[in-house]
Structure 1
Amino acid sequence: MELWLLLILLSLGFFTYFTIQRSVANITRTPVWLLWLVLMTPVLIWSAWMLVYGKNTPPPLALTVGPFVLCPLLYWLLIQWGRPVPKPPMNQEVDNQPQMSLTQQMLPPNSETPTLRPITKQEETELRNCFPWGVYYLQNVEYRPQAVLCRGKLRTNPESAYQTVRENIEAEFGDRFFVIFQESFNGKPFFALVPNPQSQPKVGQEKETEPVTRPLFALGLVLITLLTTTVIGAEIAGVTAEQSQADPTVLLRGLPYAVALMAILSIHELGHYIAARFYKVRATLPYFIPVPFFLGTLGAFIQMRSPVPHRKALFDIGIAGPLAGFLVTVPLLIWGLAHSAVVPVSDASGLLNFQSLNPRFSLLLTVLSKWALGSQLTAKMAIHLHPVAVAGYIGLVVTAFNLMPVGQLDGGHIVHAMFGQRTGIAIGQVVRLLVLVRAMLEPDLLVWAIILLLLPVADEPALNDVSELDNWRDVAGLLALVILASIVLPPGTITELLNM
């Protein structure tokens, strides 16, 4: 129990630090380690209580609820205290748009925020001429330290308006600005011009383009992850430490798990990468995160180094990964389940026990298990997973987690693109609470619920964040949410029909 808890803490701590580094490090001066410590405090307190008093002794109510309430509040306050908040001019009202730095959202990680060079009176006149009155009737220009906000009334469809205004501004100012089209909280579309960091050469230097793809680095991570997942796969296959020391070749028994898992993760990230390249979004190659424990890897990721042009691109890039990974996961999972063994259900059976997995927490997993194992899987039986089935099961969990409609997860991109940024934020808040309620009924999901609570609920906007999707993308988005529901929701009365 202590080793399992330590592995969970290490994985959760690494993931939390990585998430903070990617999501909020560029919008606040508060040290990342301090934000990380605040977010990890509830988990550390509860883990310490469990180690001292055991899992059967619940902590007092104050210790259970207090950190859960106070630490997120302190986390938010620390971000706000470290955030440089510009004061609006005395003759202007504070707008009700999302309070986020538009410039910082467009920057790659660890980049310095470029400052906005003041616009002269002549340039302001040229800027106003970029807004034809029949397309977007410009009424007010507001100056901020890192953006110029152009407010008015939309006179045509959003896509045509953005295309026209962006082309006019590029013709007048070149690549000096990113042109962003967003909706404020009151639903009125506005344009924002933020400095393009790629167009601002350093003093005494010519403009340089940061290399995005690092193939040797990516290949090195692949090879290291193949090694760590092979070692973990051998353990899953039943190879003991003594056997591997006596004959290292027995570690090859871990290759089926390693190859299957890495194929699922690779194709998931390649789906994102290919979609990003299709829309000419600068993106890194997929990078694996190898670890010598737990599953052998903490997954893979890509980073986008330029803004997403519009909501259609945001949708396509978001859905391409989980859809591609799901299409590979299902056949591998079915094959692995067909080669798995059934064992009697016991108190140790659960979501995290690969030797005695109870599939009845998931509708889709229940149906696939019954399909693969047939009459062997009855109401009193669990599954001893084949290593390939373990990889497929992990792929199913990864797909479900990424499809969660929260913040910058793939599902967050999908609902943002479908319903808009404000509605996407509301959906994310509701889903986080629902997962927390589900975790109270299924304690093995508690880590998942905590991670979702740590994630920022707001997704970054596309450059044109006003134009809506077409019908077929809406259908595809709803299908993705149906896949998510089939994975995370229990089968209910279907188990009786399947004799499970």
Structure 2
Amino acid sequence: MELIILFLVLSTLSYIIIKRNIAKITKTPTWLLWLALMIPPLIWVGWYLTNPKNSMPSLLVFIPLILSPILYIWLIEIGKITPEKPSNLESSEVQKSANPLNNDNVSGENSQKNKTPPINPQEEKALRDCFPWGVYYLQKIDYLPQAILCLGKLMTAPEKAYPTIKSNLEKVFDDRFLIIFQETLQGQPFFALVPNPHSVTIKTKLPEEKLTRPVTAIILLFLTLLTTTIIGAEISGVQVTELETNPELILEGLPYSLSLIAILGIHELSHYLFAVYYKIKTTLPYFIPIPFFLGTFGAFISIKSPMPNRKAVFDVAIAGPLGGFLVTIPVLVWGLAYSHVVDMPDRVSMLQFDALDPRFSFLLAVLAKLVMGSQLVADKAIALHPAAIAGYIGLIVTALNLMPVGQLDGGHIVHAMFGQGKAVIVGQITRVLMIILALVRGEFLLWAIILIFMPVVDQPALNDVTELDNGRDLLGLFSLILLIVILLPLPTTVAQWLNL
């Protein structure tokens, strides 16, 4: 049942992503593109529902993975909408990544209505004067439908060039443009001027979107508290009929609900606070209540303006997983202290809370052994206390968010550390590794499906060239190590040493 629910949610999100992004560049029906992309998960989920005890044939895994992207790309190409031809090939390549507003963070309506305003000869001369030859040697200006591209050679360090050029341009154009600093596919830095939809100098400015809706956030929080408390009571062994006759039994679910909401809430609140620190437009954290499964599909914030630089991308991204993890560990330790040991069942699962094999995760196994001591030995499983279940879910959420793919937190982190081009390569490698892991451990099939549909290209920052400092690079490597120790099964030698 849980697999079907998650599959339906994933299918819906995939359709929305295709509708918002791909439908703009092709006449091929959205439902047909969605069906082509959904071929692998449709086949895989169908197999596991009809043959839960049998391993999936290798051909059934790899053939859909090969055919699906080929069919998907072919369907896009046969219906592709031919854009206005740019002035040259280099400008075409640059245009693909020059507009950070052409994404889900800012509505498509904004990006369509705000075309590049023409600049007169006096303004073009002033534009050229904004580029001192000792900072950035400007060679060419190209005018595209959505951007003015300034192409040349970087003559100084990126961290010095961007603020200098940005300051000069703002003196000429005020807040009329967003100043973007990125690299071409060949690694050549360039500047782009994109119309600022929030500019006070644009007469056709759209009404300001209200970002903070505290009443909505509070209502969703209380609804999520209710749904997770009911699920927590059921996890504690309270039957629905008992709740009807004795409503006070719902309080049995508070250890689970409060722990889970604290983990998820701190995760999103950490994102939010760092976004506010960098003056990035963002919504409040919103919870998603559901009356089944875990009682919630988590929480989210929606960022509505571009990131100023890669440092901001990194800090906002890593704050969530680390903040949630710092709450997860004490909650998990507390819950494990009240859990008890049971015999290992014949068939184990990552979501089998009444008899969980802690050896699924290196970190979980070590923590369980430290807390439970000699009680936990080989061939024994753990019946998790409700608080331990919340902590265990916190570990899973941390690991999933740290996956270095696309618009997940981990994707933002590797983008900030290595740049957008290398981050795409890391994301593709991660996808392949997760598919291989799913073949060995079937419970990771859903993770592999999620990563397949996750866009591997992260949205660029305004200054997407200046690199991080060494301290942030080390913190980023720590986050990747944390991902590994959560996902890595307990090695046999370590298990023998720990008597597990």
TM above 0.5, yes or no, is yes
Rounded Cα–Cα distance in structure 1 between residues aligned with 2:318 and 2:71: 34
The equivalent of 2:282 in structure 1 is 283
The equivalent of 2:146 in structure 1 is 146
Tell me: CA distance 1:157–1:369, structure 2 relative to 1, closer, same or farther (3 Å).
same
- Work out whether residues 432 and 452 of structure 1, in 8 Å CA contact, stay in contact via their aligned partners in 2: yes
Rounded Cα–Cα distance in structure 2 between residues aligned with 1:440 and 1:61: 8
Rounded Cα–Cα distance in structure 2 between residues aligned with 1:223 and 1:29: 43
Tell me: CA distance 1:231–1:312, structure 2 relative to 1, closer, same or farther (3 Å).
same
Tell me: CA distance 1:381–1:320, structure 2 relative to 1, closer, same or farther (3 Å).
same
- The Cα shift of 1:451 comes to 0.3
Q: Does 1:43 align with 2:41?
A: yes
Tell me: CA distance 1:70–1:260, structure 2 relative to 1, closer, same or farther (3 Å).
same
Q: How does 1:33-112 map to 2 (within 5 A)?
A: 35-51=33-49, 53-56=50-53, 63-77=60-74, 86-89=83-86, 93=90, 96-97=93-94, 99-100=96-97, 102=99, 103-105=101-103, 107-112=105-110
What residue identity is the alignment partner of 2:322? L
The equivalent of 1:133 in structure 2 is 133
**Counterpart secondary structure, 1:198:** coil
What residue identity is the alignment partner of 1:152? G
Deviation per residue, 1:392-450 (Å, 9 max, x gap):
00000001111111111111111111111111111111111111111111101110111
- Work out whether residues 28 and 82 of structure 1, in 8 Å CA contact, stay in contact via their aligned partners in 2: yes
Tell me: CA distance 1:290–1:463, structure 2 relative to 1, closer, same or farther (3 Å).
same
Rounded Cα–Cα distance in structure 1 between residues aligned with 2:432 and 2:324: 26
- Work out whether residues 199 and 207 of structure 1, in 8 Å CA contact, stay in contact via their aligned partners in 2: no
The equivalent of 1:199 in structure 2 is 199
Rounded Cα–Cα distance in structure 1 between residues aligned with 2:247 and 2:24: 46
Q: How does 1:248-397 map to 2 (within 5 A)?
A: 248-397=247-396
**Counterpart secondary structure, 2:190:** strand
Rounded Cα–Cα distance in structure 1 between residues aligned with 2:474 and 2:353: 35
Q: Does 1:119 align with 2:101?
A: no
**Counterpart secondary structure, 1:396:** helix
In structure 1, list runs of 5 or more residues that go unmatched.
Answer: none
Rounded Cα–Cα distance in structure 2 between residues aligned with 1:488 and 1:23: 32
Deviation per residue, 1:423-481 (Å, 9 max, x gap):
11111111111111111111011101110111001111110001011111111111111
What residue identity is the alignment partner of 1:436? I
The equivalent of 2:188 in structure 1 is 188
- The Cα shift of 1:220 comes to 1.3
**Counterpart secondary structure, 2:359:** helix
Q: Does 1:499 align with 2:496?
A: no
What residue identity is the alignment partner of 2:360? F
- Work out whether residues 213 and 284 of structure 2, in 8 Å CA contact, stay in contact via their aligned partners in 1: yes
Rounded Cα–Cα distance in structure 1 between residues aligned with 2:77 and 2:316: 31
Tell me: CA distance 1:98–1:149, structure 2 relative to 1, closer, same or farther (3 Å).
closer
- The Cα shift of 1:60 comes to 6.6
- Work out whether residues 229 and 250 of structure 2, in 8 Å CA contact, stay in contact via their aligned partners in 1: yes
**Counterpart secondary structure, 1:199:** coil
Rounded Cα–Cα distance in structure 1 between residues aligned with 2:103 and 2:198: 14
Rounded Cα–Cα distance in structure 2 between residues aligned with 1:279 and 1:384: 43
- Work out whether residues 96 and 186 of structure 1, in 8 Å CA contact, stay in contact via their aligned partners in 2: no
Rounded Cα–Cα distance in structure 1 between residues aligned with 2:207 and 2:2: 47
Q: Percent identity among equivalent residues?
A: 53
Rounded Cα–Cα distance in structure 1 between residues aligned with 2:338 and 2:244: 28
Rounded Cα–Cα distance in structure 1 between residues aligned with 2:279 and 2:309: 12
Rounded Cα–Cα distance in structure 2 between residues aligned with 1:85 and 1:231: 53
Rounded Cα–Cα distance in structure 1 between residues aligned with 2:33 and 2:88: 36
What residue identity is the alignment partner of 1:176? R
Rounded Cα–Cα distance in structure 1 between residues aligned with 2:83 and 2:118: 15
Rounded Cα–Cα distance in structure 2 between residues aligned with 1:393 and 1:126: 59
The equivalent of 2:214 in structure 1 is 215
The equivalent of 2:8 in structure 1 is 10
Tell me: CA distance 1:253–1:190, structure 2 relative to 1, closer, same or farther (3 Å).
same
**Counterpart secondary structure, 2:325:** helix
Rounded Cα–Cα distance in structure 1 between residues aligned with 2:383 and 2:199: 57
TM-score normalised by the chain length of structure 1: 0.92
Deviation per residue, 1:93-144 (Å, 9 max, x gap):
5654483461414852454322222233332222111111111000011121
- Work out whether residues 354 and 383 of structure 2, in 8 Å CA contact, stay in contact via their aligned partners in 1: yes
- The Cα shift of 1:277 comes to 0.5
The equivalent of 1:487 in structure 2 is 486
Rounded Cα–Cα distance in structure 2 between residues aligned with 1:155 and 1:106: 34
- The Cα shift of 1:38 comes to 3.8
**Counterpart secondary structure, 1:216:** helix
- The Cα shift of 1:59 comes to 6.4
- Work out whether residues 355 and 385 of structure 1, in 8 Å CA contact, stay in contact via their aligned partners in 2: yes
Aligned-pair Cα RMSD in Å = 2.5
- The Cα shift of 1:201 comes to 8.4
Q: How does 1:392-431 map to 2 (within 5 A)?
A: 392-431=391-430
**Counterpart secondary structure, 2:156:** coil
**Counterpart secondary structure, 2:237:** coil
- The Cα shift of 1:247 comes to 2.0
Tell me: CA distance 1:82–1:373, structure 2 relative to 1, closer, same or farther (3 Å).
farther
Rounded Cα–Cα distance in structure 2 between residues aligned with 1:79 and 1:216: 42
The equivalent of 1:468 in structure 2 is 467
Rounded Cα–Cα distance in structure 1 between residues aligned with 2:47 and 2:371: 42
Tell me: CA distance 1:4–1:468, structure 2 relative to 1, closer, same or farther (3 Å).
closer
**Counterpart secondary structure, 2:175:** coil
In structure 2, list runs of 5 or more residues that go unmatched.
Answer: none
Tell me: CA distance 1:129–1:98, structure 2 relative to 1, closer, same or farther (3 Å).
closer
What residue identity is the alignment partner of 2:388? A
Tell me: CA distance 1:357–1:17, structure 2 relative to 1, closer, same or farther (3 Å).
farther
Tell me: CA distance 1:140–1:98, structure 2 relative to 1, closer, same or farther (3 Å).
closer
- The Cα shift of 1:202 comes to 8.7
Rounded Cα–Cα distance in structure 2 between residues aligned with 1:167 and 1:144: 23
- The Cα shift of 1:344 comes to 0.8
What residue identity is the alignment partner of 2:43? I
Deviation per residue, 1:186-227 (Å, 9 max, x gap):
111001111111227897x66532111111111111111111
Identify the range of structure 1 (17-26 vs 436-445) with the bigger mean alpha-carbon deviation: 17-26
Rounded Cα–Cα distance in structure 2 between residues aligned with 1:316 and 1:339: 35
- Work out whether residues 134 and 155 of structure 2, in 8 Å CA contact, stay in contact via their aligned partners in 1: yes
**Counterpart secondary structure, 2:102:** helix
**Counterpart secondary structure, 1:357:** coil
